[in-house]
Amino acid sequence: MLYSDGGGKVRAALNPVYGAQRIARFMIGVERKNPDRQIFIGQVNGEPALLFARDGRDDVLVIDMSGGAIQRILQVSNPD
């Protein structure tokens, strides 16, 4: 499951995205719109995360790995 939050300032999915294939298609679509972003691997609140940076805007994908498998992905986007 993927939850997306744009804080009312950035476009985000209005509803959760369910299923690995739908999440993959969603992420590919987002990446096609932002091909020149820099991607970093890191941690947020002790969880693995991908950090995306482009034109002063940062996006964070936190990956919940409960039980050794991805359970959910939390995407937070903020232009500030």
Task: Domain ranges for the chain, please list them.
Answer: 2-78
Q: What is the largest CA-CA distance in the chain?
A: 36
Mean pLDDT of 19-38: 88
Q: If we measure between CA atoms, which residue out of 49, 46, 55 comes closest to residue 74?
A: 49
| pTM for the predicted model, two decimal places | 0.77
What is the torsional sign of CA 69, 26, 79, 8? negative
Q: Characterize the bridge pairing of strands 2-5 and 72-78.
A: parallel
For residue 8, the model assigns a pLDDT of: 78
Mean pLDDT of 13-29: 90
Which H or E run includes 25?
A: helix 20-33
pLDDT tens per residue across span 30-72: 888 877 889 999 999 888 999 988 777 788 999 998 888 888 9
